[in-house]
Amino acid sequence: MRVTTPEYRSESRGSPVRKKIFIVVSTFLCVFARAAELTTAPDTIEARAQGCSPCHGPHGEGGKDPYFPRIAGKPAGYLFNQLQNFRDGKRSYPPMNYLLAYLHDDYLREFANYFAAQTIVEQATTTAVTTSGSASGNLVTHGDATRGIPACVLCHGPRLTGIQPGIPGLAGLNARYIAAQLVSWQVGTRHAAIPDCMHSVASRLTAADIDQVSEWLAAQPPPASVEPAAAGTWKTPIACGSEP
């Protein structure tokens, strides 16, 4: 009696069909692995900093949302302090708190130094706002001695670009962001070690003052260079504690 071999047995391990499948699958895996290799970002600070660009812009020049400020050109010491504060929960904004939660100080210092070295020449108009024209710069440039309010320029520098190592620049920031920070200092959600000068100053501002100062600052075109003044070259009128 003749035994017929089942059809499926005709495809032995060395059959042409199996070889073709093996070649196709192997080729696909090689192409996939190569593509993954080519798309892997290099381990550089420039590549890592791209994680900040969706909010703060490709070079830290400020995002389209007014509450995402310019960080390019701000003093490295200031940026490092803020990164630490967000990481440690001393300054509250959940996306930043989560993003930085497990990053080491050395890593944060790299980011701070990188963005401090960036310029904002190419984005001078991205964060400015149009004001009504009624905003006064008197408090910014002269202060109000009768209420114990020093001029902003006395602490943030004559060009409002900040002072090394820890006083930030105000040039090129959005009005709503500036106003939000002044209110945060006023109510204590942002605070510094005693003497907390920003809390003291902000507490003396009225809502109208905050609007005026914020609109005037935002309406000023940032200077071509936002490099902060060197430490010791500009004496501030009041002593301030560092942010915790």
For every one of its 244 residues, what pLDDT tens digit does the chain have, with 9 covering 90 and above? 555 544 444 444 556 655 555 444 454 444 445 445 545 657 888 888 888 989 999 889 888 888 899 899 899 999 999 999 999 998 988 999 999 999 999 999 999 999 999 876 544 444 444 444 456 789 999 999 999 999 999 989 888 988 888 889 897 789 999 999 999 999 998 988 777 889 999 999 999 999 999 999 999 887 777 788 788 777 776 667 666 5
Could you tell me where the DSSP H helices lie in 174-243? 175-187, 197-203, 207-219
CB atoms within 10 A of CB 182: 21
Do residues 64 and 50 lie in contact, with contact meaning Cβ atoms separated by under 8 Å?
no
**What is the distance between the alpha carbons of residues 226 and 52, in angstroms, rounded to a whole number?**
20
165: cis peptide before it, omega within 30°?
yes
CB-CB neighbours of 145 under 10 Å:
9
- Give the class (CATH, top level) of 45-219: mainly alpha
Residue pair 70/91 in contact (Cβ under 8 Å)? The answer is no
Helices 207-219 and 175-187: crossing angle in degrees, nearest 10, is 140
pLDDT at 65: 83
Structure tokens at 96: 């930043």
Say what the pTM is.
0.70
Q: What pLDDT, on a 0 to 100 scale, did the predictor assign at position 31?
A: 43
Contact 44, 110 (CB under 8 A): no
Residues 6+ positions from 144 with CB-CB distance below 8 Å: 138
Instruction: Identify any residues that bridge with 144 across adjacent strands, giving them in sequence order.
Output: 149
Determine if the peptide bond prior to 195 is cis (ω within 30°).
yes
User: In the block, which residue shows the tokens 């990188």?
Assistant: 114
What per-residue confidence (pLDDT) applies to 111? 95
The domain spans of the chain are 7-39, 45-219
